[in-house]
Structure 1
């Protein structure tokens, strides 16, 4: 499959765009739908697909001119998660590279301590991870929803949820359409900082501590050059986590994702820390690009995309109430994001919401009690079990604001002195290294921090 990989990607992209255009249907505002989904991202399109597949009459409303219009660059998807929802999806999905290489860089201003794993076993079906361009993946998912019978309307900005008492009964679309659409079930998948949920008082106003702003730049290079610089086999990709130096002393992360003929650099910290620091988010991106060990990767590259995204990072305790009379909240709007899963959790939340919607429609009962099947399915799955297990992570990062920065510098300092050759006995060298590291932070404080981390990891 790798031999034909480059040839098939463009064909897949064009096919998905044609599907959206050819199957786009006009909606009738006077008609009552079984379900309305707001937002054609991974959560919304997945929910629409599985509801339509079960015979529900579904309207999918997207405010952009096409799905993923406001997205920049790409991410990775976990193959097993997507495969269980869309079997053998890699045969039609426009992915970029098969991820066979995972690395972490603990960075200071002049050094990098790395951990890396690669295996050709990860290049065999059902694979492990793929890198994707967001816009292509969004279009593919939306095309799947349309092919199952979903009605899609683009350039429709939903500004309000309509209620009959406490029961959600529809949505209002802003001008120029200025229309109301009515349905038995409303599903909000309008992304991080869901203004619809906030306006309807279904979710609290966002806290700067619970959201991070990430900036991302896409840099174009020939495929062969990317493979040479990142030491990759043709068609294979790497994901590199960046910790420490990139976030200028604050807890946050960055990453590098490789695609067919480009790669992303992204970095972000919490909104609260950005306000405290007083610098522009782009300063963090420039900080990474100017690192001496990044220069060889960037040489000759051309910036083709630049953007920013708000990401929920409050964890389990920052999730809003997910189920209301006639309404469910899914994906980023429900803060269903963690450090490893983003798109994958969004898709699963859409699938579980679709199952709850079908059960509610079958019984003609759209109460909280009936729609709570959505929350039950989340609770019983890996989605919320992982969230609960790591519920204290957000609090931990607030308690130890120096966690990523200080311990990255301690690790690099240790590695430096281990690597450097001294004219002293090994026993004396070990004592010297211990004194150097403990001078950066007392050993008892380090032990207390380690204990706090271990209590959060489950």
Structure 2
């Protein structure tokens, strides 16, 4: 069994190896390994060493709990491709001045949105050097580096990390969760007072245990991502960035082939990601593969100059919960809590950040339960209370109708993107007619795409959701 226990000196050596090894296939330093005792009872077992699980393990271990962190992959982040962005303030409150030790890619000082049709782009862009000052706003990070940094924090706080351990079942005594079973080759049972499931979107463990319903294709989106390598200087020139600064570009309309969904571009030191996704239900309805959407973006005439000379170094896909507030399952059960993506705690702005905060709140609930020696739903419900009182659930509640809105107005992103581009085109184009006549002409063109009363009703529905 691969068990990783590290002290301060070993941790420094481990960090050093992370900077020199192959970033596409990092390996855990196996020099300092100990064997775990399956017969031992832990205070808490966390399944999944992603942002939610590692954060929960860190804060529990920091409070003195004996924590076992189980990861299916050969290293934290092994199942993930490319990178993403993190909101600095949210992470800073959990891990003060994290940027001094965490390996990030670029400081995000540029945010853009592209409303795209097949031959045009309407853009909105904001840039500011003020966003490059501590405590910063956002960073782009490579997922594998960030996941391993968080796992190392948990280890250094005293948690035990077991790699290559596939948890296949939650063990119960009646309705009380008491442990987990790990599939062969280990084929072990591990016992604990508290079980925390952080095994990602579409948690099979929670589903097998009948703790959550089967997933709805309408509530999950499949995103595909490609990482394209280019020299740092070329990235800065093509995206008009200052050295070390990064951009995030939201892609709306054309990339999702007429369906509601989004794409994005994230810039890193020497590469950038393109990703795009729509709901599983829409993918099935359109008989599309996610790669069809990605290729659609790459063939756009305004994408070609960004891609020129780039080399694809990574390609992957991920299932993302997007059902919103009403798709969040019951999070607390006797002896068990569900956190992060497994709990559908994802929205359009926050991913990592909600996952990490859910891990922190679960850790606080676990510590309180351990102190009282009670692991009932009533005691562990502190986790849900903390979520409800925080920005996490308040944001979910404020936008609770967003998922239904996407279903009720399936043409929202596509139609209104085309209307906006059509308007911009005619405003830009010079005609041999008086300005008053031109304004009437543009109005007639746009309203021919959809009646004005229907547009007003759609706008009203959107305003009711955005609070």
TM value normalised by structure 2? 0.95
2:9 counterpart residue number: none
Q: Helix, strand or coil: the match of 1:95?
A: coil
Instruction: Provide the C-alpha distance between the structure 2 equivalents of 1:388 and 1:172, rounded to a whole number of angstroms.
Output: 35
Structure 2 residue runs without a partner (length 5+): 1-14
2:167 counterpart residue number: 158
Instruction: For residues 235-285 of structure 1, give each alpha carbon's deviation from its aligned partner in whole angstroms, at most 9, with x where no partner exists.
Output: 000000000000000000000000000000000000000000002110000
Instruction: Provide the C-alpha distance between the structure 2 equivalents of 1:68 and 1:192, rounded to a whole number of angstroms.
Output: 14
Closer/same/farther in 2, CA of residues 411 and 155 from structure 1, 3 Å limit: same
Whether the aligned pair in 1 keeps the contact of 2:51 and 2:147 (CA below 8 Å) is yes
2:18 counterpart residue number: 13
Instruction: For residues 314-366 of structure 1, give each alpha carbon's deviation from its aligned partner in whole angstroms, at most 9, with x where no partner exists.
Output: 00000110000000000000000000000110000000000000000000000
Q: Helix, strand or coil: the match of 2:105?
A: strand
1:319 counterpart residue number: 328
Q: Does 1:353 align with 2:362?
A: yes
Matches within 5 A, 1:138-287: 138-287=147-296
Displacement after TM superposition at 1:21 (Å): 4.4
TM value normalised by structure 1? 0.96
1:343 counterpart residue number: 352
Q: Does 1:124 align with 2:141?
A: no
Closer/same/farther in 2, CA of residues 174 and 333 from structure 1, 3 Å limit: same
Whether the aligned pair in 2 keeps the contact of 1:19 and 1:143 (CA below 8 Å) is no
Instruction: Provide the C-alpha distance between the structure 1 equivalents of 2:31 and 2:154, rounded to a whole number of angstroms.
Output: 13
Instruction: Provide the C-alpha distance between the structure 1 equivalents of 2:255 and 2:389, rounded to a whole number of angstroms.
Output: 37
Q: Helix, strand or coil: the match of 1:76?
A: strand
Cα RMSD between the aligned structures? Answer: 1.3
Instruction: Provide the C-alpha distance between the structure 1 equivalents of 2:408 and 2:173, rounded to a whole number of angstroms.
Output: 44
Of 13-22 and 106-115, more deviation after overlay is shown by 13-22
2:5 counterpart residue number: none
2:49 counterpart residue number: 40
How many pairs align?
A: 449
Whether the aligned pair in 2 keeps the contact of 1:13 and 1:94 (CA below 8 Å) is no
Closer/same/farther in 2, CA of residues 18 and 284 from structure 1, 3 Å limit: closer
1:303 to 312, 319, 326: 312
Displacement after TM superposition at 1:19 (Å): 8.3
Displacement after TM superposition at 1:23 (Å): 5.8
Whether the aligned pair in 2 keeps the contact of 1:396 and 1:453 (CA below 8 Å) is yes
Instruction: Provide the C-alpha distance between the structure 1 equivalents of 2:55 and 2:155, rounded to a whole number of angstroms.
Output: 11
Q: Does 1:293 align with 2:298?
A: no
Displacement after TM superposition at 1:25 (Å): 3.9
Whether the aligned pair in 2 keeps the contact of 1:37 and 1:48 (CA below 8 Å) is yes
Instruction: Provide the C-alpha distance between the structure 2 equivalents of 1:24 and 1:140, rounded to a whole number of angstroms.
Output: 18
Whether the aligned pair in 1 keeps the contact of 2:28 and 2:75 (CA below 8 Å) is no
Instruction: For residues 212-257 of structure 1, give each alpha carbon's deviation from its aligned partner in whole angstroms, at most 9, with x where no partner exists.
Output: 0000000000000000000000000000000000000000000000
Displacement after TM superposition at 1:308 (Å): 0.2
Matches within 5 A, 1:366-385: 366-385=375-394
Displacement after TM superposition at 1:115 (Å): 0.1
Instruction: Provide the C-alpha distance between the structure 1 equivalents of 2:144 and 2:80, rounded to a whole number of angstroms.
Output: 7
Whether the aligned pair in 2 keeps the contact of 1:20 and 1:142 (CA below 8 Å) is no
Q: Helix, strand or coil: the match of 2:212?
A: coil
Q: Does 1:455 align with 2:464?
A: yes
Instruction: Provide the C-alpha distance between the structure 2 equivalents of 1:273 and 1:342, rounded to a whole number of angstroms.
Output: 22
Runs of 4+ more than 6 Å apart:
15-20
Of 209-218 and 22-31, more deviation after overlay is shown by 22-31
Closer/same/farther in 2, CA of residues 85 and 24 from structure 1, 3 Å limit: farther
Instruction: Provide the C-alpha distance between the structure 2 equivalents of 1:19 and 1:154, rounded to a whole number of angstroms.
Output: 9
